[in-house]
Amino acid sequence: MKKAVAVILTLLMVFSLFACTQTTENTPSGSPSQSPTPTPTPSASQPAQSPAGGGEDAETPPSADTVTDVSALENTIGFFSSGVEPASRDTYEIVWAYMRPMALFQNITTALKELEPQLNFTTTEYCANSDIDAMIQTIEIYSDQGVDGFMIVVDPTASARIKEVLDGTGIPYVAMLNSVRDETGSEIVPCVGIEGEIAGAETIQWLYDNYKTYWGDIDESEIGLLDFNFSPNVDFDDRHNGSKARFLELLPGNESKVFSADGVSGALDEQTGYDLASAILAANPDVKYWFVAGCIELYSQGAARAVETLNMDDRVLITAVGSDVLPAEWDGGYDGSWVSCLALSNYQYTIPGICALVAQMDGKATPETLWQSRRAPGDQVTFYNVSYGLLTRDNYKEFFEQVLVDSGLA
């Protein structure tokens, strides 16, 4: 049995995260992935080495028994072993909970199911259908039933309340996607996600670097920005602010052509993106060319529909943070104005999150010890910033295939 587990864990270790850059004279270039430096392939008995766990002069690589922060042993996709052999303990029961149906959450569910036999846990999936009271009641119900851990998307409109309930259960948990911060801005729940301002800026940088591929040598003063936001969510707001700041940095004379579209007037769905984009695009015929930045893919999907309705495909370039919707569109042959996305594989989200949760349930980590080397100044615990790539329909398959191989699940 131990040999079998070692083999399985070895498969989960990776060689290096694929950096999806593609630059040719006639092909849109990809922005550099934010991947960490590739690490050697570890084995189940010899975890990946990290600067936090030992230096170049160390005679033997560190192990989970000799480091304070077991997550410092992570590889480039975020997998690490707590040092407890999964098959040596009872099967953990975890709850994966989120507020509303989205493709991303379904993809994380799929990844968790694939990881269950490797890490010896079972997953109960729960969607609150936008009902915060139902989410809180369900947390309490599962706590009373004796589950071992929670992976949860904390709704930003009730983050303090949800955190209080989770803390009251005494059960380990990890937040996914949405950061949870106190009044000073300090992260207070270990969370796996992406740094919003950087992500937003990167999507606009890609459009600026590549617009000539689509439009040729145009007058840059004729470019406007339609920048989606969902202001109650600090992470989405950061993406919106990052996009706007980078646009004004690149095109400082175009301040009057910047338009914000806040989805708080509707919902986190495609229809809201369509309605907002249709109104802004139709009301500003003096803007000849448009960059459209989506803090979430559903808004960009709605904007793409609006552009088609208005027959503006040759004057609009759309991007988004996220990669669960557009790649599926590309799979179906889509080749419209939605041309790029900031991509994160569901494995890149799921693996760090589940490893961190298992380490806490194993008693080998606490919220304070997780990912210490990644912690931003001023944060009480760590927001784990996931690596990403900027993708087009020409390189997206290669990116996701490589991540799948690196995850050991191919």
Q: How far is the CA of 171 from the CAs of 80, 109, 161, 166, 366, in angstroms?
A: 21, 20, 16, 7, 11
The answer to whether residues 175 and 32 belong to one domain is yes
The answer to whether residues 181 and 234 belong to one domain is no
Place 410 in a pLDDT band, splitting at 50, 70 and 90.
Answer: low
Examine the fold and report which residue of 343, 374, 390 is the final residue of a domain before the chain moves on: 343
Q: What average pLDDT does range 139-158 have in this prediction?
A: 95
Q: What average pLDDT does range 322-328 have in this prediction?
A: 91
Q: How far is the CA of 234 from the CAs of 212, 266, 277, in angstroms?
A: 33, 17, 22
The answer to whether residues 268 and 336 belong to one domain is yes
The answer to whether residues 184 and 273 belong to one domain is no
Question: Is there a contact between 48 and 40 (Cβ–Cβ < 8 Å)?
Answer: yes
The answer to whether residues 31 and 117 belong to one domain is yes
The answer to whether residues 276 and 372 belong to one domain is no
Q: What does the pLDDT read at residue 234? A: 84
Element spanning 228, H or E: strand 223-229
Number of domains in the chain: 2
Specify burial of residue 56 (Cβ count, 10 A radius: 0-12, 13-18, 19+).
exposed
Q: What average pLDDT does range 287-309 have in this prediction?
A: 97
Angle at 336 between CA 397 and CA 110, to 5 degrees: 40
Q: Report residue 144 as tokens.
A: 């009373």
Q: Is the pLDDT of residue 13 over 60?
A: no
240-255 burial by CB neighbour count: b if 16+ within 10 A, else e? Answer: bbbbbebbeebbeebe
Scanning 185-269, the segments in alpha helix (DSSP H) are: 196-215, 234-250
The answer to whether residues 323 and 213 belong to one domain is yes
- At residue 317, what is the residue type? L
Query: What are the two backbone dihedrals, phi and then psi, of residue 153, each rounded to the nearest 5 degrees?
Result: -90, 110
Q: What does the pLDDT read at residue 203? A: 97
Q: Report residue 50 as tokens.
A: 């990290």
Alpha-carbon span 347 to 176, nearest angstrom: 13
366 or 68: whose pLDDT is higher? 366
Q: What does the pLDDT read at residue 317? A: 98
Examine the fold and report which residue of 295, 317, 343 is the final residue of a domain before the chain moves on: 343
The answer to whether residues 280 and 304 belong to one domain is yes
The answer to whether residues 173 and 272 belong to one domain is no
Alpha-carbon span 175 to 153, nearest angstrom: 6
Tell me the longest C-alpha to C-alpha distance in the chain. Answer: 69
Q: Is the pLDDT of residue 20 over 60?
A: no
The answer to whether residues 120 and 170 belong to one domain is yes
Place 52 in a pLDDT band, splitting at 50, 70 and 90.
Answer: very low
**Across the chain, what does the average pLDDT equal?**
85
Q: What does the pLDDT read at residue 54? A: 31
The answer to whether residues 15 and 149 belong to one domain is yes
Q: What does the pLDDT read at residue 408? A: 73
Place 66 in a pLDDT band, splitting at 50, 70 and 90.
Answer: low
Alpha-carbon span 253 to 379, nearest angstrom: 36
Question: Is there a contact between 54 and 68 (Cβ–Cβ < 8 Å)?
Answer: no
Q: What does the pLDDT read at residue 228? A: 97
Q: Report residue 355 as tokens.
A: 């490893």
**Residue pLDDT, tens place only, 203-244:** 999 999 999 999 999 999 999 999 999 998 888 999 999 999
* Domain ranges, residue 269: 196-343
Q: What does the pLDDT read at residue 232? A: 87
Examine the fold and report which residue of 317, 343, 369 is the final residue of a domain before the chain moves on: 343
How long, in residues, is the chain? 410
Sheet holding 258-262, edge to edge: 258-262, 223-229, 289-294, 316-320
Q: Is the pLDDT of residue 56 over 70?
A: no
Q: Which residues contact 266 (CB under 8 A, 6 or more apart)?
A: 272, 275, 276
131-148 burial by CB neighbour count: b if 16+ within 10 A, else e? Answer: eeeebbebbeebbeeebb
Q: Is the pLDDT of residue 39 over 60?
A: no
Residue 257's CATH number: 3.40.50.2300
Question: Is there a contact between 365 and 70 (Cβ–Cβ < 8 Å)?
Answer: yes
Alpha-carbon span 179 to 194, nearest angstrom: 9
Alpha-carbon span 81 to 74, nearest angstrom: 8
**Residue pLDDT, tens place only, 329-354:** 999 999 999 999 998 888 988 999 99
Q: Is the pLDDT of residue 36 over 50?
A: no
Tell me the torsion sign for CA atoms 396, 328, 324, 297.
positive
Q: Report residue 322 as tokens.
A: 């996220």
Q: Is the pLDDT of residue 196 over 90?
A: no
Question: Is there a contact between 47 and 81 (Cβ–Cβ < 8 Å)?
Answer: yes
Q: Is the pLDDT of residue 1 over 80?
A: no
Q: Is the pLDDT of residue 123 over 50?
A: yes
The answer to whether residues 248 and 331 belong to one domain is yes
Q: What average pLDDT does range 398-403 have in this prediction?
A: 88
- At residue 194, what is the residue type? I
